[in-house]
Amino acid sequence: MAYSGPFKYGDRVQLTDAKRRHFTLYLKEGNKFHSHQGIVEHDDIVGMDEGSVITSTMGGQFLMFRHLMVDHVLSMPRGAQVIYPKDAAQILIEGDIFRGAKVLEAGAGSGALSMALLRAVGPEGHVYSYELREDHIGYAIDNVKEYFGEQPQWWSPRLGDFQELTPEDTDGPVDRIVLDMLEPWEMLTTVKNMLVPGGVFITYVATVPQLMKVMEGIREQQCFTEPRAWESLVRDWKVEGLATRPEHRMNAHTAFLIMTRRLADGVVPPRPKRKARR
């Protein structure tokens, strides 16, 4: 699949009608897109530039673009709930996922975060994705292959228990670890053993009890910096002259993100000082 340039066979194209309804199709020679607004020939789309409008046999007009990653993530088949784009973006930036990094994630779920990590580290890096459930790792592999057109050579999706990992499983310690699982506080010893000094650990949890257990568990390990926790909220705005206002619906709480860094071996973190109460 190309990321830019005129449309060609094999591209994933998103058609948007006048009511902002989206339709996704894969361009294939001789195929047709059928809707209540008429038929669009795939052959007629090939060679057109992105951002063009095509008219159906009944006069319906469709604006055409290739899928962005966010479109793919929100429309792809899933076995487990995906990490939503607003949280994946936070993980990439706050986790400092750099090109060439060696990243370990668990669980892989439906592959949404795997795709973002793979694009960020590039072929110079490597992503190891562990998942306990065979059906979930199957969804992840299928979705990643569908997005990239093939399975990236710098990706190792594996069925297995994160808690049993050793550095030998990833050809040495990794630069970054991202966990999305029910009880990440049970994995902190493994995180310590798998992460290089200075490496970043981020975990994604949905509830307040999980948040509290992870934060206290990190502190008890005595080998990480003081953890930081936050959530991101996204609200669209409707901008139409005097009717400009926030949308009634918003992407509110999805999960908490917790971030910390691995200390050098033998180093005890300084005790955090808090302001004395007056």
Annotated binding site: 110-113, 131, 136, 161, 180
- What's the half-sphere exposure (Cβ side, CA atoms, 13 Å) at 175? 15
> Alpha helices, DSSP H only, in 20-155?
42-45, 69-75, 85-94, 112-121, 134-148
Instruction: Please give the single-letter amino acid code of residue 93.
Output: I
**Is the distance from CB of 64 to CB of 15 less than 8 angstroms?**
yes
Closest residue by Cα to residue 203 from 187, 225, 222: 187
Integer Cα distance of 177 and 106 in angstroms: 8
Q: Which residues are annotated as a binding site for S-adenosyl-L-methionine?
A: 110-113, 131, 136, 161, 180
**Structure tokens, 3:** 């990321």
Residue linked to tokens 């090109």: 99
Residue 170's closest CA among 110, 259, 105, 263? 105
| Interatomic CA distance for residues 212 and 154, integer angstroms | 35
C-alpha distance from residue 267 to each of 104, 167, 270 (Å): 24, 21, 9
Positive or negative, the Cα torsion across 76, 81, 84, 90?
A: negative
Cβ-count burial of 127 within 10 angstroms (0-12 exposed, 13-18 middle, 19+ buried)? Answer: buried
Cβ(158)–Cβ(127) below 8 Å:
no
